[in-house]
């Protein structure tokens, strides 16, 4: 409040500002108290805060802006500062810095218990005698500053090569996994006759739009063992 009055005293006057703030802020000082506070020497805590706040800002920026109260407190202790966790948290708030919060867990696939699932013809034997005999498909995710990015990929078991992939912000079958399948099918010439397509029980791969496309391409749709 002292800084606020200093900023506007020439425009409104100290008496008016103190009278107005006293009505809005409980226990606020009078104009006499304001003048006494301005002439009072800063306390040891205030001086220490003035040193620590820019130091916290510097260290936070140095460590890519991800440190929260716990890690910042440990870092300051390693740097030789005697400071408690509560004081560290208070100064971080004043400095306007905070740690990166953990994102909620992302679920890439959700199975429907009511669905009739194809059998597992692979039986965990992930080997193939030649290319384009067995493809394994899956979805993973990457946490970004703006949310999760989902990645769908198709792997040829024989070469262990990713032959199709797609990145999207949604798990919808027609947007994410289907586009990865289309890329792989295009690179394989569009004919997957005799190929075994191996996926999990997720609704992405069990959707009608996806399974119909697998059948159109001539591949055998099979699924992973539910024990996996």
User: According to the model, what pLDDT value does residue 110 have?
Assistant: 55
Does residue 147 sit in the same domain as residue 183?
yes
Does residue 141 sit in the same domain as residue 182?
yes
User: According to the model, what pLDDT value does residue 194 have?
Assistant: 87
Does residue 138 sit in the same domain as residue 219?
yes
Q: What percent of the chain has pLDDT over 70?
A: 84
**Rounded Cα distance, 131 and 148, in Å:** 32
Q: What is the CA angle 6-10-13, rounded to 5?
A: 85
Domain boundaries, position 33 = 1-40
Any domain includes 123: no
- Range in 65-69, 173-177, 224-228 with the lowest mean pLDDT: 224-228
Any domain includes 151: yes
The answer on pLDDT for 104 being more than 90 is no
Does residue 5 sit in the same domain as residue 60?
no
User: According to the model, what pLDDT value does residue 120 have?
Assistant: 54
**Rounded Cα distance, 197 and 133, in Å:** 9
User: According to the model, what pLDDT value does residue 228 have?
Assistant: 36
User: According to the model, what pLDDT value does residue 200 have?
Assistant: 79
Any domain includes 228: no
Any domain includes 51: yes
**Rounded Cα distance, 181 and 95, in Å:** 49
Residue 209: CATH number of its domain: 3.30.420.10
The answer on pLDDT for 180 being more than 50 is yes
The answer on pLDDT for 211 being more than 80 is yes
User: According to the model, what pLDDT value does residue 57 have?
Assistant: 93
User: According to the model, what pLDDT value does residue 4 have?
Assistant: 81
Does residue 1 sit in the same domain as residue 54?
no
The answer on pLDDT for 103 being more than 70 is no
Average pLDDT of the chain is 83
| 113-149: pLDDT as tens digits | 555 445 555 667 788 899 999 999 999 988 877 778 9
Q: What is the tally of structural domains in the chain?
A: 3
Does residue 148 sit in the same domain as residue 214?
yes
The two three-digit tokens of residue 188, written as one number: 């394989």
Any domain includes 94: yes
Report field, pTM of the whole predicted structure over 0.85: no
Does residue 177 sit in the same domain as residue 193?
yes
């Amino acid at each position: 409040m002292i800084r606020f009055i200093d900023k506007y005293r020439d425009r409104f006057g100290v008496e008016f500002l103190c009278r107005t703030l006293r009505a809005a802020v409980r226990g606020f000082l009078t104009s006499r108290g304001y003048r006494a506070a301005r002439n009072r020497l800063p306390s040891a805590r205030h001086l220490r805060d003035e040193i620590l706040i820019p130091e916290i800002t510097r260290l936070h920026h140095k460590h890519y802006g991800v440190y929260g109260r716990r890690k910042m407190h440990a870092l300051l202790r390693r740097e030789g500062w005697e400071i408690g966790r509560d004081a560290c948290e208070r100064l971080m708030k004043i400095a306007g810095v905070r740690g990166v919060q953990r994102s909620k867990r992302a679920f890439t696939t959700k199975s429907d218990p009511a669905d009739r699932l194809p059998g597992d013809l692979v039986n965990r034997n992930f080997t193939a005698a030649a290319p384009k005999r067995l493809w394994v498909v899956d979805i993973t995710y990457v946490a970004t500053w703006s949310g999760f990015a989902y990645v769908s990929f198709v792997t040829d078991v024989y070469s262990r090569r990713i032959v199709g992939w797609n990145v999207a912000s949604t798990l919808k079958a027609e947007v994410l996994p289907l586009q990865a399948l289309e890329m792989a099918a295009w690179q394989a010439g569009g004919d997957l006759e005799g190929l075994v397509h191996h996926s999990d029980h997720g609704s992405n791969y069990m959707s009608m739009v996806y399974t119909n496309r697998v059948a159109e391409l001539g591949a055998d749709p099979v699924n992973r063992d539910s024990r996996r």
